[in-house]
Chains A and B, each alone.
Chain A
Amino acid sequence: DGGITQSPKYLFRKEGQNVTLSCEQNLNHDAMYWYRQDPGQGLRLIYYSQIVNDFQKGDIAEGYSVSREKKESFPLTVTSAQKNPTAFYLCASSIVARGGPYNEQFFGPGTRLTVL
């Protein structure tokens, strides 16, 4: 089955700790994205990557970091600098879009992060 997997499904963190959320895809997509979803606020883009070893900040990158060492993987680290990290985190992937038509973003099942 082709798709996107995220792990873990639920994650609990103590204040002051860094945590890393996993995102893997076997769709052979070049582009990958991380979103944060809070109640009533829709999805907000944290980081995105259109090619291995390259990534760009989204609208709310502060307190987060990413890496893209492999095409299939795009892990997100939530650092202690993120002031309000409790949220639902969604990873997505798509074929590369360098402007023009929209290329569908396929979403993973999400990771719910709770800071204790």
Chain B
Amino acid sequence: QKEVEQDPGPLSVPEGAIVSLNCTYSNSAFQYFMWYRQYSRKGPELLMYTYSSGNKEDGRFTAQVDKSSKYISLFIRDSQPSDSATYLCAMKVDDKAAGNKLTFGGGTRVLVKP
């Protein structure tokens, strides 16, 4: 079983809809939770970063962390065709020995249709 599980999709939604993405994980030591966006044949770019549990909002994006359920979510409101990409969750433990090492989910491909 992978440490971080993510539905590969594709997730297809009409323009303007809410996109809901999630990851589950097994390592309770994860404390830092990231969402990256990756366009086709490009490198990932950081979208959101959350520490421990709770919600974080940035424009049309909301990240939620539920550590009791080992479940994180990303919501994209008013989705646009430009949001079509693969979304990767990533996690990190709060441990000096681990440095800046991340554990990634497999990514969910999202298609927003005009």
Contacts and interface: CB of A to CB of B under 8 A. Distances in A.
Interface of A: 4, 31, 40-45, 48, 50, 58, 88, 90, 92, 94, 96-105, 107-110, 112
Contacts of A41: 106
B74 interface: no
A42 B43 contact: no
A58 to B, nearest CB: 7
Contact of B32 (A31, A44, A102): A102
Interface of B: 4, 6, 8, 32, 34, 41-46, 49, 51, 88, 90, 92, 94-102, 104-107
Contacts of B46: 104-105
A90 B106 contact: no
Q: Counting chain B CB atoms within 10 Å of each CB, which of A43, A88, A107 scores highest?
A: A43
Given A43-B88, A108-B43, A103 B100 contact: yes
B34 A102 contact: yes
B43 A109 contact: yes
Contacts of B102: 43, 45, 105
B41 A99 contact: no
Contact of B49 (A43, A99, A100, A104): A104
A4 B103 CA distance: 21
Nearest to B88: A42
A31 B72 CA distance: 27
A48 B101 contact: yes
A87 to B, nearest CB: 13
B98 A99 contact: yes
Given A42-B88, A105-B102, A99 B97 contact: yes
